[in-house]
A = this chain, B = another copy of it.
Amino acid sequence: MKQYVQQYRSELLENVVPFWEKHSPDREFGGYFTCLDRDGRVFDTDKFIWLQGREVWMFSSLYNRVEQRPQWLQAALQGAEFLRKYGHDGNFNWYFSLTREGNPLVEPYNIFSDCFATMAFGQLFRATGDGQYGEIALKTFENILHRSGNPKGRFSKAVPATRPLKGFSLPMILCNLSLEIEHLLSEERVEETIHGVLHEVMEVFYQPESGLILENVNPDGSFSDSFEGRLLNPGHAIEAMWFIMDLSVRLKRPELARKAVEIALRTLEYGWDQQYGGVFYFMDVKGHPMQQLEWDQKLWWVHIETLITLAKGYQMTGDPACRRWFDIVHNYTWSHFPDPEFGEWYGYLNRRGEVLLPLKGGKWKGFFHVPRGLYQVCTTLEKLGGSHEGA
């Protein structure tokens, strides 16, 4: 497995990071362009808060973890200042999108904008020690917890009494976020948050009978036989499992990592396309037709997140199935997603693995999953000894 370290590191530092450093910063209005064509040209100037926050986080994270390059801190700061000025409504409710100049386009209906803003400012606080960034992260995080019972608030179109489902995404993200900003939180707050989200992910959304994680369940955790209730998002579940593995280290509970490996492998076997390779984007747990017309597509983040989970799973448990699957997913990923001509990675492939959209960045794909994944995989594999650690 160690053979891969250099490949992931050089892809990160010599291909992906330079592509975004060159094409993404908006040096006129601040913030970042994320709608980048195949060759890096900006094809749309709207600024999506998810991606602005994630890019601040990524540059700060490179600065904190890889090397204290001034241009990375500078890149993080120019995104953060734009976000601080224009990204929220004054009460740390973060808009969904802004115009290039910073005028709000879409209201703060999406709580994940707040999650990625929290990550951004938490990581930037580590880089700068500037207390105002820490405060933004903290206030936003408290706001998220406050809104978590009804994340969409007045923008929800569901009649609440009829089928009040709860979603997997928020507890999943909080598994990661609670460790990301642990340095800003009281011990008590960390404990209660981690305890709550671990319970939700591993005991409520995880279904022992099928071995799978559902995207939506009834408030009491039972199965809802509806489009939403039957929905599986294999990439989501597999990504969550490396968040759980990180928690298992933090909590010194190795049995959590073993359970996470078991769930990830089961999900990967279930979600793998036997015909064309790659992991499906959406599935229905009863095999019924889905509402998501993109269900059979192969997405960049699903595959890179799966590689992180398999690398961590192997490093922590030594399970040979992690190693076998890592090779399979690695081969699929590297033969389909990187663009040898213009650099960076494609995001959206059809079922057969052909490029569906040539973009390198858009409304949802930014400077996040690919560089985070390359970083996580190479640093995880570096920890392996001659044989793996966990053996």
Nearest B-chain residue to A286, judged by Cβ:
B43
- B226 and A290 contacting across the interface, CB-CB below 8 Å: no
Which residues 220-250 of A have a CB within 8 angstroms of B?
226-227
- A296 and B356 contacting across the interface, CB-CB below 8 Å: yes
Q: Within the complex, which residue of B163, B294, B350, B363 is in contact with A227, where a contact is CB–CB below 8 Å?
A: B363
Q: Can you spell out 25 A-B residue pairs with CB atoms less than 8 angstroms apart?
A: A37-B288, A37-B289, A44-B288, A96-B157, A99-B162, A103-B162, A104-B159, A105-B158, A105-B159, A106-B157, A106-B159, A107-B157, A154-B154, A155-B155, A227-B363, A289-B357, A289-B358, A289-B362, A291-B362, A293-B293, A293-B348, A293-B356, A293-B357, A294-B294, A296-B356
Q: A109-B157, A293-B357, A296-B350 are in contact. List 14 more A-B contacts (CB 8 A).
A: A44-B288, A46-B227, A99-B162, A103-B159, A103-B162, A104-B162, A106-B158, A289-B362, A290-B357, A291-B362, A291-B363, A293-B348, A293-B356, A295-B357
Contacts of A288 in B (CB 8 A): 37, 43-44
1/0 per residue A27-48: CB within 8 Å of B?
Answer: 0000000010100000110100
Which residues 53-70 of A have a CB within 8 angstroms of B?
none
User: What separation, in Å, do the CA atoms of A105 and B107 have in the docked complex?
Assistant: 23
- A289 and B162 contacting across the interface, CB-CB below 8 Å: no
Q: Report the minimum CB–CB distance from A42 to chain B (whole Å).
A: 10
Contact of A107 with B158 at beta-carbon distance under 8 Å, contacts A288-B44, A289-B43, A289-B358 already known: yes
Verify if A359 is at the interface (C-beta below 8 Å from B): yes
Contacts of A376 in B (CB 8 A): none
Contacts of A350 in B (CB 8 A): 296, 350-351
- A163 and B362 contacting across the interface, CB-CB below 8 Å: no
Task: Specify which of A154, A157, A289 lies most central, judged by the most chain B CB atoms within 10 Å of its CB.
Answer: A289
1/0 per residue A252-269: CB within 8 Å of B?
Answer: 000000000000000000
Verify if A24 is at the interface (C-beta below 8 Å from B): no
1/0 per residue A191-209: CB within 8 Å of B?
Answer: 0000000000000000000
Verify if A297 is at the interface (C-beta below 8 Å from B): yes
Mostly, the A contact residues are: loop
Q: Report the minimum CB–CB distance from A127 to chain B (whole Å).
A: 31
Task: Specify which of A99, A106, A158, A159 lies most central, judged by the most chain B CB atoms within 10 Å of its CB.
Answer: A159
User: What separation, in Å, do the CA atoms of A364 and B274 have in the docked complex?
Assistant: 29
Contacts of A162 in B (CB 8 A): 99, 103-105
- B227 and A44 contacting across the interface, CB-CB below 8 Å: yes
1/0 per residue A328-364: CB within 8 Å of B?
Answer: 0000000000000000000010110000111100110
1/0 per residue A149-176: CB within 8 Å of B?
Answer: 0000011011100110000000000000
User: What separation, in Å, do the CA atoms of A295 and B157 have in the docked complex?
Assistant: 26
User: What separation, in Å, do the CA atoms of A226 and B291 have in the docked complex?
Assistant: 26
Contacts of A44 in B (CB 8 A): 226-227, 288
User: What separation, in Å, do the CA atoms of A107 and B348 have in the docked complex?
Assistant: 32
Contacts of A297 in B (CB 8 A): 293
Which residues 82-108 of A have a CB within 8 angstroms of B?
95-96, 99, 103-107
User: What separation, in Å, do the CA atoms of A1 and B43 have in the docked complex?
Assistant: 45
Which residues 356-388 of A have a CB within 8 angstroms of B?
356-359, 362-363
User: What separation, in Å, do the CA atoms of A358 and B46 have in the docked complex?
Assistant: 37
